[in-house]
């Protein structure tokens, strides 16, 4: 089998399952903006078909999709440089997803920890879509022959499954057609934790609004949430090693480092031994300084939904020109008749 070479291409996405939270920004969007400046083709997607794996009110979904797109643009994703669209406008995602449902093995799917976390004790009542979600995610990525996927730590297992699916497809059909995609998980904020419980990740759909920073929160709300963030009583340590076994303190330092484009060690060097009464207000000021321009721009973009829709339609058109030939070749490899 000859070794195919693939154009360096980045794909990543966000579900419109609620308003964007700080983890989505630091773990994903902010890093996409950096990758957009590199030597890659960039494809970023609002993955609305993933959102409906749990109930979404139809009255809110379209606007939630626009809001996530507005957040991406406001944070620096430029639709002229990157392909930006929503998943359901490119039918090839669902079509390749079905083929991958027939490649992925039940044993692999049964190991997916995100399904276990999200379905919880009520797995019998979870949708089949929630279970098959990682196989559709593999289709999202491989439909573009993406070589790199920048994601937060929580998505690592799904990117590994994508590699397993690509390998099995290539092996079963005796081709070297799908790339073995690399996850890109780097920086100090690959797993931003819940502000009320440092052992859980920050999520859009977590129970309490106090456990997350929303991208649309105003300055007072951000200050209040950081002030009330749970920590142990000890002050910050003198060196970064002192953060070991202090998940809440570590989280706040990591957030500061990611927002200021520094490292946790540099943050500790700036605030050695500082008490929370000093550090939390400094963190809140920094967050407001970085997030307020983004939320202001989001609000401006959201005032013209028709323009967002146009941008997403143009992005979908560009996405289809890459996706459709890859899907057509996949059908041919699989032997599906197109008459």
Please list the active-site residues.
118, 201, 204
Query: Tokens representing 320?
Result: 């289809």
Length of the chain equals 339
Comparison of 28 and 170: residue with beta carbon closer to ligand AQP:
28
> From the CB of 120, what's the least distance to ligand AQP, in Å?
13
> From the CB of 163, what's the least distance to ligand AQP, in Å?
16
Cα–Cα dist 225/329, whole Å:
51
Cα–Cα dist 337/45, whole Å:
30
Cβ contacts of 26 within 8 Å, gap of 6 or more? 187, 189, 192, 255, 258, 259
Comparison of 87 and 170: residue with beta carbon closer to ligand AQP:
87
Cα–Cα dist 280/284, whole Å:
6
Query: Tokens representing 333?
Result: 């490899």
Cα torsion for 320, 77, 97, 332, to the nearest 10°?
A: 40
> From the CB of 191, what's the least distance to ligand AQP, in Å?
5
Using DSSP's 3-state secondary structure scheme, residue 118 falls into helix
Residue 13 parent element (H or E): strand 9-14
Place of tokens 């030597």: 39
Comparison of 159 and 169: residue with beta carbon closer to ligand AQP:
159
> From the CB of 157, what's the least distance to ligand AQP, in Å?
11
Comparison of 213 and 330: residue with beta carbon closer to ligand AQP:
213
Q: Which chain residues interact with ligand AQP by CB under 6 A?
A: 14-15, 17-18, 21, 23-24, 27-28, 151-152, 154-155, 189-192, 201-205
> From the CB of 35, what's the least distance to ligand AQP, in Å?
12
DSSP labels, 177-241: -S--PEEE--STTSSPBPSS-TTSB--TT-S-GGGS-BTT--HHHHHHHHHH----SS---SSGG
Query: What angle do helix axes 58-75 and 305-334 make, rounded to 10 degrees?
Result: 100
Other Cβ atoms closer than 10 A to 293? 12
Query: Tokens representing 253?
Result: 């330092």
User: Contact 268/237 with Cβ under 8 angstroms?
Assistant: yes
Position of minimal CB gap to ligand AQP:
27
Cβ contacts of 89 within 8 Å, gap of 6 or more? 312, 313, 316, 319
Comparison of 67 and 154: residue with beta carbon closer to ligand AQP:
154
Comparison of 65 and 170: residue with beta carbon closer to ligand AQP:
65
Comparison of 206 and 235: residue with beta carbon closer to ligand AQP:
206
Query: Tokens representing 75?
Result: 């944070």
């Amino acid at each position: 089998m000859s070794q195919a070479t693939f154009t360096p291409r980045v794909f990543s996405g966000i579900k419109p399952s609620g308003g964007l939270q700080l983890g989505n920004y630091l773990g994903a969007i902010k890093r996409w903006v950096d990758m957009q400046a590199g030597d890659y083709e960039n494809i970023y997607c609002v993955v609305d078909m993933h959102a409906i794996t749990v109930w979404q009110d139809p009255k809110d979904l379209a606007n939630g999709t626009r809001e996530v797109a507005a957040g991406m643009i406001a944070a620096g994703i430029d639709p002229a440089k990157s392909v930006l669209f929503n998943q359901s406008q490119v039918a090839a995602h669902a079509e390749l997803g079905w083929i991958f449902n027939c490649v992925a093995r039940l044993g692999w799917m049964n190991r997916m920890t995100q399904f276990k976390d999200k379905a919880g004790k009520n797995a019998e009542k979870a949708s089949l879509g929630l279970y098959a979600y990682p196989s559709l995610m593999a289709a999202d990525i491989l439909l573009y022959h993406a070589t790199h996927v920048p994601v937060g730590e929580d998505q690592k297992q799904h990117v590994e499954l994508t590699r397993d699916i690509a390998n099995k497809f290539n092996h079963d059909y005796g081709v070297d057609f799908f790339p073995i995609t690399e996850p890109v998980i780097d920086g100090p904020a690959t797993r931003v934790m819940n502000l009320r419980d440092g052992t859980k990740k920050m999520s859009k759909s977590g129970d309490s609004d106090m456990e997350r920073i929303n991208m649309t929160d105003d300055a007072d709300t951000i200050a209040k949430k950081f002030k009330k963030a749970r920590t142990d009583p000890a002050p910050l340590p003198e060196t970064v090693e002192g953060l070991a076994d202090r998940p809440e303190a570590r989280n706040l330092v990591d957030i500061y480092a990611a927002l200021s484009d520094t490292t946790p060690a540099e943050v500790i060097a700036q605030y050695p031994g500082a008490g929370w009464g000093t550090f939390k207000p400094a963190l809140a000021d920094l967050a407001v300084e970085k997030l307020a321009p983004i939320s202001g721009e989001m609000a401006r973009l959201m005032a013209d939904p028709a323009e967002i829709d146009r941008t997403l339609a143009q992005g979908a058109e560009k996405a289809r020109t890459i996706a459709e030939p890859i899907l057509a070749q996949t059908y041919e490899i699989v032997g599906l008749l197109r008459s």
